[in-house]
Amino acid sequence: MTFRCPSCRNEVGLDALRSAGACPSCGVQLATDDGIVDFVAAAPVVKSGDERDYYDDVYASYVPADPVKLELATLAPRWHGQ
């Protein structure tokens, strides 16, 4: 399996991501120290943090309109096809 670097558009194989966590062609860092690959953070963005800040705010402020109040045990009959 290969991926495409968002910076230089060259292919990046899994071995490169596992070993260095960076694109072998241009050296842009694609993976963090904990091994999570973040192609969005590595992509060149015209407005550097605007879009990421916007979505961080949207997700952080989300409150469900009607949270589900359900005991998991009540789902057992459906799970077992009854």
pTM score of the predicted model: 0.47
| Domain presence at residue 80 | no
Residue 81 lies in a domain: no
* Residue 20: per-residue pLDDT: 83
Report yes or no on 29 lying in a domain: yes
Residue 75 resides in a domain = no
Look up the domain containing 48 and give its range. Answer: 2-60
State phi, psi for 19 to the nearest 5 degrees: -80, -60
Spatial CB neighbours of 26, under 8 Å, sequence gap ≥ 6: 5, 7, 8, 10
Q: What is the count of structural domains for the chain?
A: 1
Give the per-residue pLDDT at 46. Answer: 53
In-domain check, residue 68 = no
- pLDDT tens string, the chain, 82 residues long: the values are 778 888 888 999 888 888 888 899 999 888 887 778 877 766 665 555 677 788 888 888 887 777 777 788 888 888 887 7
In total, the chain counts a number of residues equal to 82
Q: Is 27 inside any structural domain?
A: yes
15 domain residue, yes or no: yes
Q: Is 28 part of any domain?
A: yes
